[in-house]
Amino acid sequence: MSEQMVYLDGVYVPLAEAKISVLDHGILYGDGVFEGIRAYHGRVFRLADHIDRFYAGANSIFLDLPFGKEAMTEVVLESCRRNNIQDGYVRLVCTRGADGLGLYPKPDAHKPRLFCIAGQVALYPEEAYRRGLKVITTSYRRNKATIIDPQIKSLNYLNNILASIEAHRYGADEALMLNEDGLVTECTGDNVFFIKNNVIYTPPVWLGTLDGITRQSVIKVARAKGYTVEEIPFTHHNLLNADEAFLTGTAAEIIALTYLDSKPIGTGVAGSVTMELLAAFREYTKMPENGAKI
């Protein structure tokens, strides 16, 4: 197997040689943005949308990316080519750069650092898609938009990480995150949906969730299948009493949420609507218009 190559500031280097400074603001302060992107069937899924979100996040934290969207798109595609990726996962990251130990990033002192990793991902085994996930409600509340807007995929992911650690400490697969008002926002790495009386519900983005690319795709696929999808606030009570529930994310795709705080949702296994949407989503990823050719 050929050695994995990583894009780093204009050159492709072996993974073992892809290094950044210990003074980088991304390491010292979580100062930067990232995107997790999937490749399916020789195409990078909804790459233009990921690139748009990458630039929007950078803009919101006053981080000037080193070049334009067309060149950034080519970085992702070439990273896939160099690593023979047809079906895989891409992580695109830009940090503030090696700006020293000071908190304030001095303008123009150091260039941002950009790197792109293309490889494989298997977040859950296929059997888990039939069994579903066990989820707990974490004690960690979702960041308010007035602190760090969850719509920004920043490198400061400690809120999510602590919730994930708590979930695994209690033997769960994922953690459900509420906001300060007790409303459901998202899980640590996934958006949340539930189904009641054949209507699909998910929290609105403004409530404190990432505007997930897979989330957007699933809403589109569900509506094309004839389902009503409502983006409205809801509580733990609504989720616990749902007919079905599922999570969506770039790595997870669509996966059933079958136990919440040790209580079964619906029948306690992946429901028929969830599995129908998973199959429809996987077909959606095969459409040439939904991906950039590698």
Asked whether residue 147 carries a pLDDT value surpassing 90, the answer given is no
pLDDT for 106 beyond 90: no
Cβ-based neighbour number of residue 49 at 10 Å: 16
Task: Identify the band that residue 282 occupies on the pLDDT scale cut at 50, 70 and 90.
Answer: very high
Query: Which residue type does 36 have?
Result: G
Q: Is residue 160 pLDDT above 70, yes or no?
A: yes
Give the pLDDT score at 270.
96
Q: Catalytic site residue 111? A: no
User: Which pLDDT band, with edges at 50, 70 and 90, does 123 fall under?
Assistant: confident
pLDDT of residue 109: 73
Which listed residue (153, 220, 286, 293) is catalytic? 153
> What's the pTM value of the predicted model, to 2 decimals?
0.95
Looking at residues 144-162, what average pLDDT do you find?
92
Average the pLDDT over 39-46 and give the result: 97
What are the C-alpha distances in Å from 55 to residues 80, 109, 113, 148, 196? 20, 21, 14, 16, 36
Confidence at residue 1, expressed as pLDDT on a 0 to 100 scale: 58
Type of residue found at 169:
R
Q: Which domains does the chain possess?
A: 5-119 (3.30.470.10), 126-284 (3.20.10.10)
Angstrom distance (rounded) from CA 202 to CA 218: 11
